[in-house]
C-alpha cells in the first residue's frame, strides 16, 4: 500500500492484536494522518463547533430566528490547512479515490453519533445538474456510501451557484435551493462534506419537516 496523498509506502505493523484479525489497510501514512485534526473535547452540542459553550453563538442566533429545524449536526474533522488541500483535490479536481482517506473515521463517527437511530434514512445533500456534470460525482453521496443505514435521494437542487464564492450574509439570506422529490415519515440524517454556516443543511431540513419528516439531523465530514 502507498499513501493516497504523498505516495509513501505504508508498511503495516504486525502484532498479536491484528495477526488473527487484520485491520483495514491504511489510506494515509502516519505523517499525513497526523496532519488531519479530528474534533475532540468540548464542542457545541448543536453543530459540533469547537467551543466551551454548550450551545455556540451561531446556533443561538439560528434559534432566535425561529429556524430551529435541525435537531443537531455532528462533524468529524476541523477544516485545517491540510484538510483544505485534500478537499480541493478530491472535490474540485476529481480525485475520487481520496474519499477512502475518510472511510474508517467517518464510519466510526457515525456509529458514535447515530448508532441507535436504526430507522433513520440517510439523505445526501444533492448537487445541481450543472455542478454534477462539472465534478463527475457528488461528494455527499460518496460519503453516504460508507454508512450502514438506507440512503435515499429525496432532494433535488435547483440552485447551481457555488457556495464557496458567497459571503456569510449571502448564504444565510438566499432562497431555499431545494425541491422535495418524495416525502418521508421517518427520521432523516442529512449527509454533506462540510458544515459552514448551516444554511444549506437547514434549508434541506426545513423542506423535509414542512412535509412530514418528524426529526432531522445532519452528519458532515468537516465543521468549517
- What pLDDT sits at residue 174? 78
What pLDDT was estimated at residue 3?
98
Instruction: Note the pLDDT of residue 20.
Output: 63
* 18 pLDDT more than 90: no
In this structure, of 18-27, 71-80, 151-160, 205-214, the range with the lowest mean pLDDT score is 18-27
The pLDDT tens digits for 125-162 are 999 999 999 999 999 999 999 999 999 999 999 876 66
Residue 218: name the closest of 133, 137, 136, 117 by CA.
117
At 66 the pLDDT is: 80
Q: Cell 439531523: give the residue.
A: 217
**Which residue, chain included where needed, has cell 456534470?**
133
pLDDT at 168 over 70: no
Instruction: Tell me which of 12-26, 80-94, 104-118, 183-197 is least confident.
Output: 12-26
For the cut 80, the answer to whether the pLDDT of residue 181 exceeds it is yes
Supply the pLDDT for residue 16: 65
Q: Which residues pair with 192 in a beta bridge?
A: 220
Region 94-123 average pLDDT? 97
Query: What is the per-residue pLDDT across 90-102, written as a single tens digit (0 to 9) for each?
Result: 999 999 999 999 9
CA 151 to chain centre: 14
Please give the Cα distance from 62 to 55 (Å, whole number). Answer: 11
pTM for this prediction: 0.91
Average pLDDT, rounded, for the chain: 92
Query: Within 10 A of 43 (CB to CB), how many other CB atoms are there?
Result: 19
For the chain, the DSSP string reads -B-TTT--B------HHHHSSPPPPPSS-HHHHHHS-B--S-B-TTT--B-SSSS-HHHHHHHHTT----SEEEEEEE--HHHHHHHIIIIIS--GGGGGGGHHHHHHHHHHHHTT-TTPEEEEPPPPHHHHHHHSS-HHHHHHTTSSS-B---EEE-----GGGS-HHHHHHSPP-EEESS---S-EEEEEEEESSSHHHHHHHHHHHHTT-S-EEEEEEEE-
What number of other Cβ atoms are within 10 A of residue 46's Cβ? 22
Amino acid at each position: 500500500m502507498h499513501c493516497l496523498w504523498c505516495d509513501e509506502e505504508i508498511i503495516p505493523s504486525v502484532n498479536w492484536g491484528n495477526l488473527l484479525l487484520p485491520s483495514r489497510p491504511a489510506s494515509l501514512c502516519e505523517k499525513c494522518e497526523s496532519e488531519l485534526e479530528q474534533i475532540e473535547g468540548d464542542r457545541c452540542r448543536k453543530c459540533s463547533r469547537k467551543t466551551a459553550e454548550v450551545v455556540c453563538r451561531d446556533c443561538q442566533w439560528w434559534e432566535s430566528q425561529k429556524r430551529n429545524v435541525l435537531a443537531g449536526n455532528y462533524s468529524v474533522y476541523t477544516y485545517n490547512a491540510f484538510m483544505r488541500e485534500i478537499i480541493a483535490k478530491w472535490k474540485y479536481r476529481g480525485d475520487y479515490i481520496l474519499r477512502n482517506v475518510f472511510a474508517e473515521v467517518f464510519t466510526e463517527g457515525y456509529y458514535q453519533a447515530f448508532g441507535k437511530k436504526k430507522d433513520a434514512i440517510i439523505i445526501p445533500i444533492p448537487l445541481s445538474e450543472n455542478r454534477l456534470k462539472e465534478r463527475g460525482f457528488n461528494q455527499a453521496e460518496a460519503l453516504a456510501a460508507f454508512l450502514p443505514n438506507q440512503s435515499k435521494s429525496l432532494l433535488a437542487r435547483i440552485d447551481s451557484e457555488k457556495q464557496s464564492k458567497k459571503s456569510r450574509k449571502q448564504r444565510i439570506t438566499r432562497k431555499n435551493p431545494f425541491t422535495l422529490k418524495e416525502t418521508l415519515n421517518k427520521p432523516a440524517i442529512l449527509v454533506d462534506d462540510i458544515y459552514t454556516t448551516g444554511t444549506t443543511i437547514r434549508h434541506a431540513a426545513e423542506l423535509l419537516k414542512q412535509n412530514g419528516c418528524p426529526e432531522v439531523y445532519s452528519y458532515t465530514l468537516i465543521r468549517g
